[in-house]
Amino acid sequence: MAEAYRETTEWEDGNTNINHTYLLEGDRMIAYIRSQTSVPFYFKNPITISRSRRKFELVEPNPFEATLIPQVVIAQESNIREIEGSKGTVYYVNTDDKTCTCPGYTYRGTCKHVKELETQ
């Protein structure tokens, strides 16, 4: 199960703007939220993160929770649609809220997946 961790490292130059919040599964980073923002960025493939000389604290409640859509919810919620992206990645569109889990929606607040479902 993935957990959210906020970096609390005190860097030698005093810069804490590079301390982000990470969604980690072991030593694999699935996503992160940049410091002083609230929008998560999900990687296509998880990457390894080094915890060497860095400090982290567990974040509860998990700030990524709203963008994680478990399969059980998809089965129960008729407003959640599974969409395959152009490169085969699966995204989830909420037809009521007009939201999507793709990176395009994360950055721009709109995407072709939402628009495609609106025209159907």
Kindly report, residue by residue over 49-84, the tens digit of the pLDDT. 888 889 999 999 888 876 665 543 444 556 778 888
Helix %, strand %, coil % for the chain, to 5? 20, 35, 50
What span, in angstroms and rounded, lies between the C-alpha atoms of 102 and 105? 6
The 10 Å CB-count burial string (b at 16+, else e) for 86-118 is: eeeeebbbbeeeebbbbbebbeeeebebbeeee
Kindly report, residue by residue over 2-21, the tens digit of the pLDDT. 899 999 998 888 877 788 99
Q: Is the pTM of this model over 0.85?
A: no
Q: Which residue has the higher pLDDT, 74 or 87?
A: 87
Q: What secondary structure, in 3-state letters, does 5-42 show?
A: EEECCCCCCCCCCCCCEEEEECCEEEEEECCCCCCEEE
Q: Extract the tokens encoding 14.
A: 């005093």
Q: Where are the domains of the chain?
A: 3-63, 69-119
pLDDT > 90 in the chain, percent: 15
pLDDT band at residue 38 under the 50/70/90 scheme:
confident
pLDDT > 70 in the chain, percent: 88
